[in-house]
A and B are shown apart, each in its own frame.
Chain A
Amino acid sequence: MKITIASGKGGTGKTTVSSNLTSYLASLGKKVVLADLDVEEPNSALFLNAELVNSKVSNKMIPKWDATDCTLCGKCEEVCNFNAILHLPEEIRVFPELCHSCYACSELCPTNSLPMTPSPIGIINEYRNELFSMVEGRLDLGQEMSIPLIAQTIEYVDEKFPDYMKIYDAPPGTSCPVIESSRYSDFVILITEATPFGLNDLTLAVETMKVLNQKVGVIINRYGIGDDGVERYCQDENIPIITKIKNDKEVAKLYSNGELIYNKIEHFKDSLDDIIAFIGGLK
């Protein structure tokens, strides 16, 4: 089973829940692996006291101009939807950071003057602690395109841990990186807080998942603050509320110290039990 933990709003507790949930499941004897897909700022490893066991450079394919046979016909620029190729009077200029690796320019070039070549965009790190494994994608500084790295991180986890349960810690928001982190999952858990901000971004996330035909459930974090807008919305939309995690300064303190929470705070562990029971019921 693959579960994505996402949210519209940032800072609602995706990493807190996914790292604690994975650790707790592993402590119960479950074969589970955590994938940190927030490749622009991966931080799950900070909480897991884990050792780096493997690293792999992640590449994306980009066209590289070979002037030898090029007639400067400009077909490449014409077919590029992303302005990544510029047909100048005396040369073809490629902007790797804009390239979506669609191969159109390379395939349609009459003289094969734009062969696709690998170009590094980041790194995939695999960690291991005494309980379980964790894999993260980490985008290089200055890279604009996170999708290929997210896809490759998911692929790495699939290959290395074929019969494991997978927890994906998604980036915040509702754009392409979130979609890439959610589209292959069996279920998406959206974490929110019961504030007007939380509700606004939750609504956007739910709409996004509807487009993907993804089933969703909601966790309300920092329960006790805000209003009942999120609960009413979930009721109206028929979205299950999986658990409500109590607003508790002690949780925040442990998080700030980079510590796991479930083994120190009972009500947090109870919430994880709610999540596990819910996931168990999904089959």
Chain B
Amino acid sequence: MKIVFTTKGKTWESPIDARFGRAEMFLIYDEESDTLEAIDNSATESMEHGVGGVSSKRMINAGANVVITGNGAGEKALKILKTTGIAFFTGAGEMSVKEAYEAYKANKLQKQF
């Protein structure tokens, strides 16, 4: 399973970025190889429109199975990702990456789709 966290940093201690489309960074945890990989997403900050699409494409290209975030996917991201089989979990906006992963494992996050 590849689990993507929307984050403001590259480590297990980094805080979750509550936003999906304009998340500062995507941190990908590959459960099989037990490795973390970061994708910089900060360019979306200065984009006026369409970040939902851009970030969704990054999820598809990264081969994500699960996305863990704070507020959830917006309208455009929803349209794209609902058909891909990627699962979205929300409510981790105030957590660190580690806490968010534990909460996900303990079934304590809300499933958006």
Interface residues of A (CB under 8 A from B): 82-84, 86-89, 93, 95, 98, 144
Contacts and interface: CB of A to CB of B under 8 A. Distances in A.
Contacts of A83: 47, 49-51, 53-54
Counting contact residues on chain B (CB < 8 A from A), the size range is 10 to 19
Given A86-B80, A88-B80, A93-B80, A98 B60 contact: no
Given A93-B80, A95-B76, A84 B60 contact: no
A89 B53 contact: no
B7 interface: no
**Which applies to chain B's interface (DSSP): helix, strand, loop or mixed?**
helix
A93 B53 CA distance: 9
Contacts of A88: 57, 60, 80
**Which applies to chain A's interface (DSSP): helix, strand, loop or mixed?**
loop
A13 B51 CA distance: 37
B6 interface: no
Interface in B13-68: 47, 49-51, 53-54, 56-57, 60-61
A93 B60 CA distance: 13
Given A83-B53, A93-B80, 20 more contacts: A82-B49, A82-B50, A83-B49, A83-B50, A83-B51, A83-B54, A86-B53, A86-B54, A86-B57, A86-B80, A87-B57, A88-B57, A88-B60, A89-B60, A89-B61, A93-B53, A95-B53, A98-B49, A98-B50, A144-B49
Contacts of B80: 86, 88, 93
Nearest to B57: A86
B52 to A, nearest CB: 9
A63 to B, nearest CB: 15
A144 B82 CA distance: 23
